[in-house]
Amino acid sequence: MEKIRKVTIQDVARYANVSVGTIDRVIHNRGKVSPEKRKKVEEAIEKLNFNPNLLARTLALGNQFTVCILIPAAPSEGHYWSMPLNGLEMGSAQFKDYGIITQYFFYDLFDEKTFTQQTAKILEINPDGVILAPLFLNESKLFTEKLKDKEIPFVFIDADIPNRQSLSYIGPDVKQSAYIAGRLMNSILPEKAEILIVNMVKGFDNASALKRMEEGFRAYFKEHGQEQNKHITTLTIKSKQKDEVFRELTKYYIKNPAVKGVFVTNSKAYLVSEFHQNHDLDIRLLGYDLVEGNINHLKSGGIDVIISQSPVQQGQRAVQTLFEFFIQKQEPEKILHVPLDIIIRENMGFYIGFNRQHRTEIKTTTVNN
């Protein structure tokens, strides 16, 4: 296979009878170039179909972009937040040679203070960009306000705060995801049935997201004339701890033994499934995210459907977005809703296998405590 000579800036220079410097000036609209030569250069670029080599450009420029990533810590391997992290690491590895330097900051899902602490550190570092999961509303608002003052672009993943002038939001359409949940729930229940929505909140989470989910879920039944057939109630448990959840479920089921379907609005459906199995309850169950517990209960049949919000892609895409913004000067889409995958036992395996990174040499610059 003989080499196909790639057209370089030299080729263009020769073709247009000018020096590389002039080509450079034309490309970057820098310095003065006489109209005639400019025209000749532009023609040459067009004619030879010249595309600057991004590698060489990056190397020559040598500029760096520090990106701070602020997400919840994943306490274990199978935890939800290990998946976006995985995607973020993939993205970091992919773009590190282009000068994208990522630093990770983890906060405790149950402790706003750790969030604020980490934001302070990030502000001190004064990075070129930030990727964050704004799970604490007020703290996130404060933080992004400061970022805006410093003109540091930021990307939201997983959760959105509208009208924050983020560079982009990459994550699920929360309301629609619950609408889909409604659709799926309806399709696996008999004509008439009682349905329970289970929320688990610790502290003062994103209450608005929960509200939007409930709306979305109920909207499906409303729009499809199922209001008379399906009786939907909501149980909000102020904990994600197993014992506490079990206690509340027991209490509820004793009073409402007719429940036929449960929609769990977070990734802890497996807890409910375990409860059902403990008590031999035949109840349809629907939840979020392909975390380890849910995987097991999908297998065992305790969970019927999981809706997954492309967690790995979210992370990967976020890094890519900043890469395209910094290096290629591309303005990203303000909102990028990721696919909401419908996962059942039978197609589960492919989602687990496909996005696993099989590179060896990934070292993440982790900044802890």
Partner DNA sequence: AGAAAAAGTGTGTGCGTGCACACAAAATAT
Partner DNA sequence: ATATTTTGTGTGCACGCACACACTTTTTCT
22: Cβ contacts below 8 Å, ≥ 6 apart: 13, 16, 33, 37, 41
CA–CA distance, 30 with 45 (Å, rounded to integer): 17
Distance of CA 204 to the CA centre of its chain: 22
Segment contacting a second copy by CB under 8 A, of 18-26, 49-57, 107-115, 255-263: 49-57
The DSSP secondary structure of 316-333, one letter per residue, reads HHHHHHHHHHHTS-PPPP
The residue count of the chain comes to 369
CA–CA distance, 50 with 44 (Å, rounded to integer): 8
Residues 87 to 146 in contact with a second copy, rule: CB under 8 A: 96-98, 101, 125-128
Residues 188 to 207 in contact with a second copy, rule: CB under 8 A: 188
Q: Are 351 and 188 in contact (CB under 8 A)?
A: no
49 binds, among DNA, a second copy, none (CB under 5 to 8 A by kind): a second copy
167: Cβ contacts below 8 Å, ≥ 6 apart: 129, 153, 154, 155, 321, 322, 325, 332
Q: Are 107 and 114 in contact (CB under 8 A)?
A: yes
Our CB check for a second copy shows the closer of 255 and 358 to be 358
Our CB check for a second copy shows the closer of 72 and 302 to be 302
Under the binding rule (CB under 8 A), the answer on residue 336 touching a second copy is: yes
37 binds, among a second copy, DNA, none (CB under 5 to 8 A by kind): DNA
Element housing 97 (H / E): none
225 binds, among a second copy, DNA, none (CB under 5 to 8 A by kind): none
27 binds, among a second copy, DNA, none (CB under 5 to 8 A by kind): DNA
179 binds, among DNA, a second copy, none (CB under 5 to 8 A by kind): a second copy
Our CB check for DNA shows the closer of 356 and 359 to be 359
116 binds, among DNA, a second copy, none (CB under 5 to 8 A by kind): none
Q: What is the maximum alpha-carbon separation in the chain?
A: 88
CA–CA distance, 267 with 289 (Å, rounded to integer): 5
**Of 227, 145, 118, nearest in space to 182 by CA:** 227
Considering only residues 43, 46, 227, 333, which one is a binding residue for a second copy as defined by CB under 8 A? 333
Residue 242, CA atoms < 13 Å, CB-side half-sphere = 8
Considering only residues 34, 204, 344, 366, which one is a binding residue for a second copy as defined by CB under 8 A? 344
Binding site for DNA (CB under 7 A): 6, 8-10, 17-22, 24-25, 27-28, 30-37, 50-53, 56-57, 59-62
113 binds, among a second copy, DNA, none (CB under 5 to 8 A by kind): none
Residues 19 to 38 in contact with a second copy, rule: CB under 8 A: none
228 binds, among DNA, a second copy, none (CB under 5 to 8 A by kind): none
Q: Residue 92 burial by CB count (10 A; 0-12/13-18/19+): exposed, middle or buried? A: buried
Neighbours of 22 (CB within 10 A): 21
Q: Least separation, in Å, of the C-beta of 329 and DNA?
A: 11
Binding site for a second copy (CB under 8 A): 1, 3-4, 6, 49, 51, 53-56, 58-59, 64, 66, 96-98, 101, 125-128, 173, 176, 179-180, 183, 187-188, 310, 313, 330, 333, 336-344, 346-347, 349-351, 353-354, 358-359, 361, 363
